[in-house]
Amino acid sequence: MEYVIEMLNIRKVFGNFVANDNITLQLKKGEIHALLGENGAGKSTLMNVLFGLYQPDGGEIRVKGQTVKISNPNVANDLGIGMVHQHFMLVDTFTVTENIILGSEPTKLGKIDIKRAEQEVRELSERYGLAVDPTAKIADISVGMQQRVEILKTLYRGADILIFDEPTAVLTPQEIQELIQIMKALVREGKSIILITHKLKEIMEVCDRVTVIRRGKGIGTLNVADTNPNELAALMVGREVHFKTEKREATPGKDVLEIKDLVVKDARGVTVVNHLDLTVRAGEIVGIAGVDGNGQSELIEAITGLIKAESGSIKLNGKEILNLPPRKITEAGVGHIPQDRHKHGLVLDFPIGENIVLQTYYQEPYSKNGILNFKNIYDKARQLIKEFDVRTPDEYTKARALSGGNQQKAIIGREVDRNPDLLIAAQPTRGLDVGAIEFIHKRLIEQRDQGKAVLLVSFELDEIMNVSDRIAVIYEGKIVAIVDPKEITEQELGLLMAGSKRKEAGVSS
Ligand SMILES: Nc1ncnc2c1ncn2[C@@H]1O[C@H](COP(=O)(O)OP(=O)(O)OP(=O)(O)O)[C@@H](O)[C@H]1O
Ligand SMILES: [Mg+2]
């Protein structure tokens, strides 16, 4: 039997909206099969059907040749299908092992045998090269490690067909390389993998075949060896995509953001931003490049008032904003596209239309004398949904029901529309398709050309190199170099990020 999974003409509707329109995907044993499509194309929906979270409205699913009905995830588990979701589903206060065995605990005389479970977790993790500490608490481990826990959880249940829904969107470049090695080890051991990713490079690097869908419809399946990133992008978006956004020289004006001698400590009292200086001027994009964990998150949280700084100064248009409440900082003219859109970006159970005015709902024309004006709120929402191409059935749909990428577009629209003097964009294109990335880059450059100061933080070196006018390299909580993207290579930038001095990195100043 060549195929381990056959999804034939799968149809799934939500109300009047057709999310999957007769899609076919066939997975061969031992292959890594990419599922590619724009934000909102229906990828997660299709995989949720395979995992038994949704019931299809039409079509047939075969597992190893047998037609099956996957009425819930337990049935999927029994059929050997495991899924690592786009948003993790771990219990923060439990340990790694407790999370892995949750729902299938080994028992000894009626008691959970945690020692045996830890041993099994250790063995699995060694066999597949998934380094984890079985006794660590989820809340204390990195995102990359949490993801390995999710993978181990599926392996512990005996899965041999693994679905990865955008596993690399939340990872740093280093972690992505580790995950790629893990996936290769898994297929060597006879597993088969469906991988959802927006990163065409990853598809070219690890996948055998790729199935492309567009707006709920199947476009076709190709051998990766016979295609290339340009063709894939065009197939999924339906038009040609430019990977590098054109922009003219920046014409920077006055200092908008001036940070001097900023010190921030984390919850454990460790100094994470260490006497940092940084200036961003009107009409320029400054990109912060750094390896995750060098203080970039805390820097942004301090500017936006989400955490308290120890000392130093942060001035916006000459006025001190250090340690002001977040709303005061917003009102002073700071827009923020947050790194974690679920924690700081959206109220998931509110309609997307109301989320779009989340920062300004208490101001006119959205509210007067404490009474919300829903007509004005939804007029604005409709305008932004159109302008930022947020794909949603309508403006009343809960934010939760939007695809990951469309949630992100909604936040970007909201923040840009507020017309802030300083726009902070933290990982703004995380989880976005190539067409949407191009769109967002254009909007950031447009903001710059309108005289805004833009501070961009990204782990994607391509993005930093293409969009920034100046690059500030952050290392151990300090800006260690300011470089011109036109005068540096990605390799040299990588060396600076790893803490080597400018000369060693081959950069003259
Ligand atoms: N429970 C639901 N109720 C209503 N609409 C839904 C629901 N789940 C998904 N949709 C809609 O179906 C479409 C497909 O969503 P899906 O999450 O499958 O997209 P995706 O291809 O995974 O996108 P992304 O790359 O952004 O994650 C979207 O327009 C979404 O708004
Ligand atoms: Mg998705």
pLDDT digits (tens, 9 = 90+) for 247-293: 999 999 999 999 999 999 988 899 999 999 999 999 999 999 998 88
Of all protein residues, the one whose alpha carbon is nearest to atom 28 of ligand 1 is: 40
Q: What is the mean pLDDT of residues 211-219?
A: 96
Indicate whether 433 belongs to any domain.
no
Pair of tokens at residue 503: 């000369």
Which CA distances in Å does 36 have to 217, 291, 292, 314, 498? 12, 28, 27, 42, 33
Ligand 1 centroid to residue 388 C-alpha, Å: 17
Cα of 295 vs centre of ligand 1, distance in Å, is 34
Does residue 41 line the site of ligand 1, with CB under 6 A? yes
Instruction: Tell me the pTM.
Output: 0.86
For the chain, what is the domain count?
Answer: 3
> What angle, 0 to 180 degrees and rounded to 10, lies between the N-to-C axes of helices 404-417 and 434-449?
10
For residues 59 and 7, is the Cβ–Cβ distance under 8 A?
yes
Looking from the CA of residue 213, the nearest atom of ligand 1 is: 21
Q: Tell me which of 289-298, 338-347, 386-395 is least confident.
A: 338-347
In a domain, 36, yes or no: yes
Query: Which of 88-92, 105-109, 385-389, 433-437 comes out lowest in average pLDDT?
Result: 105-109
Q: Cβ(401) to ligand 1 under 6 A?
A: yes
The residue whose C-alpha atom lies closest to atom 12 belonging to ligand 1 is 19
Q: 218 CA to middle of ligand 2, Å?
A: 16
Based on the fold, state whether residues 473 and 350 are members of the same structural domain: no
Q: Is 175 found in the same domain as 96? A: yes
With 70 as the cut, is the pLDDT of residue 503 above it? no
Residue 162: inside a domain: yes
Co-location of 129 and 275 in the same domain = no
Q: In which element (H, E) is residue 44 found?
A: helix 43-50
Atom 19 of ligand 1, residue of closest alpha carbon: 40
Q: Please report the pLDDT score of residue 509 as a whole number.
A: 53
- Model pLDDT, residue 366: 87
Picking from 21-30, 267-276, 316-325, which range would have the lowest pLDDT averaged per residue? 267-276
Answer yes or no: do 406 and 267 share one domain: no
Residue 445 falls inside a structural domain = no
- In the chain, % of residues over pLDDT 90: 72
Residue nearest to atom 13 of ligand 1 (CA): 40
> Are 227 and 89 part of one and the same domain?
yes
**Same domain membership, residue 204 and residue 172:** yes
Tell me the residues surrounding ligand 2 (ion) with CB < 5 Å. Answer: 44, 403
CA pseudo-torsion sign 217, 220, 223, 228: negative
Query: Rounded to a whole number, what is the distance in angstroms from the first to the last CA of the chain?
Result: 62
Strands 422-426 and 334-337, by their bridges, are parallel
Q: Does a structural domain hold residue 403? A: yes
Beta-carbon contacts of residue 108 (< 8 Å; ≥ 6 apart): 116
- Which domain range does residue 30 map to? 3-237
Residue in the block written with tokens 């057709």: 18
397 with 465, same domain: the answer is: no
Domain with residue 57: its CATH number is 3.40.50.300
Cα atoms in the 13 Å half-sphere on the side-chain side of 213: 27
* Whether residue 131 sits in one domain with residue 105: yes
Same domain, 404 and 507: no
Q: Which of 203, 237, 271 is the last residue of a domain?
A: 237
Residue 329 located in a structural domain = no
Residue 40 CB–ligand 1 contact under 6 Å? yes
Return the pLDDT at 19: 95
pLDDT more than 70, % of the chain: 98
Pair 259, 275: CB distance under 8 Å = no
- Ligand 1 in reach of 52 Cβ (< 6 A): no
Identify the domain boundary among 237, 271, 287. 237
The sheet that has 422-426: what strands, in order across it?
334-337, 422-426, 453-457, 284-289, 470-475, 478-483
Token pair 């029994």 in the structure block, residue: 78
Is residue 14 within 6 Å of ligand 1 at its C-beta? yes
Instruction: Retrieve residue 78's tokens.
Output: 């029994």
> Which residues does 395 contact at the CB level (< 8 Å), separation at least 6?
351, 352, 353, 378, 381, 382, 385
- Of 198, 215, 237, the residue at which a domain comes to its end is 237
Answer yes or no: is 35 within a domain: yes
Q: What residue owns the CA closest to ligand 1's atom 10? A: 401
Task: Give the pLDDT confidence of 297-306 residue by residue, as tens digits.
Answer: 999 999 999 9
- Residues 457-497 pLDDT 10s: 999 899 999 999 999 999 999 999 999 999 999 889 989 99
Give the tens place of pLDDT for each residue, 168-202: 988 888 889 999 999 999 999 999 999 999 999 99
Q: State if residue 43 touches ligand 1 by the CB under 6 angstroms criterion.
A: yes
In a domain, 260, yes or no: yes
- 425/345 Cα distance (integer angstroms): 12
152 with 175, same domain: the answer is yes
Based on the domain organization, do 261 and 351 belong to the same domain?
A: no
19 alpha carbon – ligand 1 mean position (Å)? 7
What tokens were used for 66? 């047998």
Q: Which residues of 358-374 are buried (b: 16+ CB within 10 A; e: fewer)?
A: bbbeeeeebbeeeeeee
Q: Are residues 359 and 398 in the same domain?
A: yes
